[in-house]
Chain A
Amino acid sequence: MKLISTSILVLFLYLLVTGQNERAIQKFNLHVHVNEVYPSGDSNLGHYPILWYDSQDAKVLVGGFGLGVSYQSQLKNQFYLRSKLDIQRSRYYDQPTIFNDANGASLGAFFGVNTSYSIHVSALPSIAFGAKSRWSFALGAGARVVLSSISDYGESFINGEQTALKFKRRAQAPVIAYCASRIRFNIGKLEFSTGLDADFTNASRLSTQKEKFYIWQTGIAHKL
């Protein structure tokens, strides 16, 4: 697994460096997107909606989003390489914990909301197709560096005081490699895209936790 991860990272860095030598068609793009994390490998983790209204707690749930820039160069005919840099917020429901008082009486299950901020770099070889080459499909690799990860369990009475239960979560791996796929559609200077980032290294750095994330993202880009 480590060998595969290393090989893909090396390939990704190679593409990132060598791709920039092709100067036939170069395009900078500005991206904004929304994302949703689908955890796997731990059935107690859950996905957090991109945008939803929680009528029980009467609050709006705002999930993941991000923005970034990309640089696209033509490799050959319909083949392109896009190098992308994103900053992203992503959210998911952490494993629920059952709060109990000192006598063991249950106070209910609390769902921690995990909010992570990360920087993503990716290299996406793409192929354009369809009428006027408006469509393109990309499959590549990337890595995200987790800058901050916070679990929020809301507030609870601890020793008679209302206490905010918000913790920095360092259980998340600081660098996670992933496989990225995108399908895109171009109209004029705008580009719509949707795709999936699938982790191939563990999202947790704890040796016993084996969760991996699938991050679905959809967004819009503007050619600069």
Chain B
Amino acid sequence: MKTFFTAISLLILCACNTKEINFIASLEIFPNPCAEQVFITLRPEVVTSQDLTLRVIDAKTDNLIVETLDLVPGNTVTVDMSAQAAGEYYAQIFKDEELSDTDIFIKAQ
């Protein structure tokens, strides 16, 4: 019986032991919230890897809005958002097809 309760306690403790929010954005996205267009810069002070891929994805539809290959830190990408609906969008950084970081930005009405 003691083992049983220990197992349950451990299960609950493991579930409660979530990671703390440790948010260091690797992308600078401005203006955020955006309207017509948004500028996305890979922060050179956070990201040092080269040849990264930036993908902007609509959180509503999972549709790819833009993909920029061979992005290097410090580069700024301009994304036309005029045709997109208001809502949340994901800017994702991939290194060798592996997702390395995700930032959210908002398109306002």
B102 located at the interface, meaning its Cβ lies under 8 Å from any Cβ of chain A in the complex: yes
* Residue pair B87, A168 in contact (C-beta under 8 Å): yes
Are A104 and B102 neighbours in the complex by a CB distance under 8 Å? Answer: no
CB contacts under 8 Å to B, within A36-74, are: 38-40, 42-47
Q: Tell me, in angstroms, the Cα distance from A198 to B18 when the chains sit together.
A: 13
B15 touches A43 (CB 8 A): no
Min distance, Cβ A115 to any Cβ of chain B, angstroms: 14
Bound Cα distance from A38 to B99, whole angstroms: 22
Q: How large is the interface on A (under 10, 10 to 19, 20 to 34, 35 or more residues)?
A: 35 or more
A196 CB to nearest chain B CB (Å): 5
Q: CA of A45 to CA of B104 in the docked complex: distance in angstroms?
A: 12
Q: Which residues of chain A have a CB within 8 Å of any CB of chain B?
A: 38-40, 42-47, 93-104, 109, 112, 137, 151, 153, 156, 158-159, 163, 165, 167-171, 181, 183, 194, 196, 198, 205-209, 214, 216
Q: A100-B31, A170-B61 are in contact. List 6 more A-B contacts (CB 8 A).
A: A95-B102, A98-B28, A98-B29, A167-B87, A196-B11, A214-B18
Q: What are 13 A-B pairs at a CB distance below 8 A?
A: A42-B102, A46-B20, A96-B23, A97-B104, A99-B33, A100-B30, A102-B30, A104-B30, A137-B8, A163-B33, A167-B106, A171-B59, A196-B15
**What 6 A-B pairs come out closest when comparing CB atoms?**
A100-B30, A171-B59, A104-B30, A170-B60, A214-B15, A43-B19
